[in-house]
Amino acid sequence: MPVPPPPVQVRLSVALSRIDPATAASYRSRAMTRTRPPFLDGLIASLPIVLGYFPIAFSFGVAATRAGFSAWDAFALSLVIYAGASQFLALALLSSGAPVLVAAFTLIAMNLRHVLYGPALMREAGSEAGRRHAWAWAWGLTDEVFGQALGALARGQRFSEPHMFGLGLGAYASWVAGTVVGAFAGGGALEGWPALNAGLGFMLPALFLALLLSILSRPQVPVIAVAGLVTVAGTLVLGATSGILLGMLAGAVAGLVRR
């Protein structure tokens, strides 16, 4: 009668006992990393976004109360819209008396670029990637969450929906919490800590640069160069929102030409 193979943990333990302690410790640590629950892994990966979002959301909360809206209004905007630039624009439009439909249409147009994120992410994730709960986790697919998820796939990590939930939830919670704290605390809270304020303010550019480095490869260089140059030109001539949309589209079109 054939003897069944020992469990994986036993085989790993036996294998590790045959090599030197330092190498064994390193393998154990890597095995633990691999077995960390994907949701927790996603939450940990959201840390730079959490730290970057909080001060921006804080300043949004402050701006909302200064514009005459209540803390509940600020909370509702962050909870229901969950898109930074749009929310600041909503304050400006509504406090200047813009009609509801005009304001809503302007905000919707600002976020049109998000249409591309889901398909681009799922294409990198592969055809076997689960999407059963995408109706829920896709709500958290902001610029930064998309970039972080794509960077993880580029570094060889497997796509998982719990990871996306962890990544998205960390960022969303930070955004909503930052708004509420900002709305209640008022404008002076971070002004006494200019270095901390500046460091937190640099978190998102630093994150985008790190993500860019993580996906950088020779075939992507023309795409990245075209996107960057068109963003600069578009921002200088037409403004930041148009610059972002044009840069993204120009880079993606450059991807069509490169083969």
> Which residues are CB-contacts of 138 (< 8 A; sequence separation ≥ 6)?
118
Q: Which is nearer to other proteins, 32 or 213 (CB)?
A: 213
127 binds other proteins (CB under 8 A): yes
> Which amino acid is it at 226?
V
Q: Binders of other proteins among 228-247, rule CB under 8 A?
A: 228, 231-232, 235, 240, 243-244, 247
Cβ proximity of 71 and 184 under 8 Å: yes
Minimum Å distance from CB 139 to other proteins? 6
By the 10 Å C-beta count (0-12 exposed, 13-18 middle, 19+ buried), 258 is classed as: exposed
Binds other proteins (CB under 8 A): choice among 59, 61, 72, 156: 72
73 binds other proteins (CB under 8 A): yes
Q: Which is nearer to other proteins, 15 or 112 (CB)?
A: 112
By the 10 Å C-beta count (0-12 exposed, 13-18 middle, 19+ buried), 110 is classed as: middle
224 binds other proteins (CB under 8 A): yes
SS3 string of 55-95? HHHHHHHHHHHHCCCCHHHHHHHHHHCCCHHHHHHHHHHHH
Of 7-15, 24-32, 83-91, 174-182, which segment contacts other proteins by CB under 8 A? 83-91
Q: Binders of other proteins among 160-189, rule CB under 8 A?
A: none
Q: Which is nearer to other proteins, 6 or 99 (CB)?
A: 99
Q: Binders of other proteins among 100-119, rule CB under 8 A?
A: 100, 103-104, 107-108, 111-119
- Output DSSP code: residue 99: -
207 binds other proteins (CB under 8 A): yes
Output the six-digit token pair for 197: 């304020």
